[in-house]
């Protein structure tokens, strides 16, 4: 009797099996509504991303100028780009913007995030100031930065003048033009980066800091052994998304240094794609450059995900 009772009790605790053929009308309606809401986004992604990628991959093997039907060339466009010194220079400039700009931005926003997450006066005002780049249009920001770089009336030269520094041609010298663009990109990305870092910092339980303090850890030791490990998932996300954004730098270049800067010192891959497509009407060559850029981004992203276990110490 006890065995039978226990078996009945076990059967009673098992979840009831619902036949696959019996559909809940309410859940079916929810699925239909969910699909209706997602459909515009799915269609947009399919049309403007996946279909565009397939079309670009085809045009990259052709000669196409929008006026005549495309002519098949095979790998000629890719051979030209790989052997073209101007494209290699654009790729190298893009790599410098990525390899320098992303780490600098991350280090900067981590320091700002730790400061803004502490109890300081006028904390809300500081957060508003640092979040302004996030809500400012990139072209409008570039116009303001171009004025600040002006050697005649620019803000930077006026601030350096009392220290005996002569006027600096920030955007007219090959040695400084790219770094001027980099400075603006660091400022522009800092708002979004800071938002994510602050969210990560606020998710760290305070009990870890209290335990470290009880153990006698200094402020640097708490930052090194508590903050950084627990913040590493956010930093990994910033490294991936920041690298993708840096490889697509365009608006700052075209506004600050029209034509790609002095001696093409600020020419990037996306700027090169724009020039080939809309200035020279060489759509096939532009498509090939975009495919090479996509391949580079995929490789960099794959390497970063491969290193994720070393990056992320806490899950």
In terms of domains, do 123 and 259 share one? yes
User: In 3D, which of 258, 254, 246 has the Cα closest to residue 300?
Assistant: 246
CA distance linking residue 3 with residue 76, whole number of Å:
79
Q: Is the pTM of this model over 0.75?
A: yes
Q: Is residue 28 part of a domain?
A: yes
pLDDT band at 109 (very low <50, low <70, confident <90, very high): very high
Q: Is residue 66 part of a domain?
A: no
Q: Is residue 108 part of a domain?
A: yes
Expressed as residue numbers, the domain containing 201 is 78-311
In terms of domains, do 170 and 240 share one? yes
How confident is the model at residue 219, as a pLDDT?
86
CA distance linking residue 49 with residue 53, whole number of Å:
6
Q: Is residue 67 part of a domain?
A: no
159-212 tens-digit pLDDT: 887 887 778 888 988 888 999 999 999 999 998 899 899 889 988 888 988 888
User: In 3D, which of 233, 217, 143 has the Cα closest to residue 184?
Assistant: 143
Per-residue tokens: 282: 């060489």
In terms of domains, do 102 and 135 share one? yes
User: In 3D, which of 229, 269, 235 has the Cα closest to residue 102?
Assistant: 235
Q: Are 98 and 182 in contact (CB under 8 A)?
A: no
How many Å is the maximal CA-CA distance in the chain? 100
Helix (H) or strand (E) holding 263: none
In terms of domains, do 225 and 255 share one? yes
Q: Is residue 253 part of a domain?
A: yes
For position 300, which CATH number holds? Answer: 1.10.3720.10
Per-residue tokens: 140: 């409008």
């Amino acid at each position: 009797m006890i065995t039978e009772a226990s078996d009945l009790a076990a059967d009673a605790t098992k979840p009831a099996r619902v036949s696959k053929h019996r559909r809940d009308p309410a859940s079916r309606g929810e699925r239909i509504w969910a699909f209706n809401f997602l459909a515009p986004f799915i269609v947009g992604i399919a049309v403007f991303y996946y279909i565009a990628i397939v079309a670009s991959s085809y045009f990259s093997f052709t000669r196409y100028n929008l006026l005549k039907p495309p002519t098949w060339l095979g790998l000629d466009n890719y051979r030209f780009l790989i052997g073209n010194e101007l494209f290699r220079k654009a790729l190298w400039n893009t790599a410098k913007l990525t390899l320098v700009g992303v780490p600098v931005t991350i280090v900067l926003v981590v320091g700002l995030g730790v400061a803004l997450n502490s109890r300081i006066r006028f904390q809300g005002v500081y957060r508003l100031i640092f979040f302004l780049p996030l809500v400012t249009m990139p072209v409008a920001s570039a116009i303001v930065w171009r004025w600040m770089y002006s050697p005649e009336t620019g803000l930077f030269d006026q601030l350096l003048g009392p220290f005996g520094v002569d006027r600096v041609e920030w955007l007219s010298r090959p040695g400084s033009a790219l770094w001027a663009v980099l400075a603006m990109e660091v400022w522009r990305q800092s708002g979004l980066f800071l938002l994510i870092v602050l969210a990560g910092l606020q998710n760290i339980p305070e009990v870890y800091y209290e335990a470290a303090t009880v153990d006698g850890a200094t402020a640097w030791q708490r930052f090194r052994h508590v903050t950084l490990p627990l913040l590493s998932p956010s930093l990994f996300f910033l490294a991936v998304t920041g690298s993708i954004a840096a490889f697509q730098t365009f608006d700052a270049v075209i506004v600050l240094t029209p034509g790609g800067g002095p001696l093409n010192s600020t020419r990037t891959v996306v700027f090169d794609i724009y020039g080939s497509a809309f200035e020279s009407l060489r759509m096939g060559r532009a498509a090939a450059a975009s495919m090479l850029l996509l391949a580079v981004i995929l490789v960099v992203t794959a390497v970063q995900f491969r290193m994720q276990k070393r990056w992320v110490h806490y899950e």
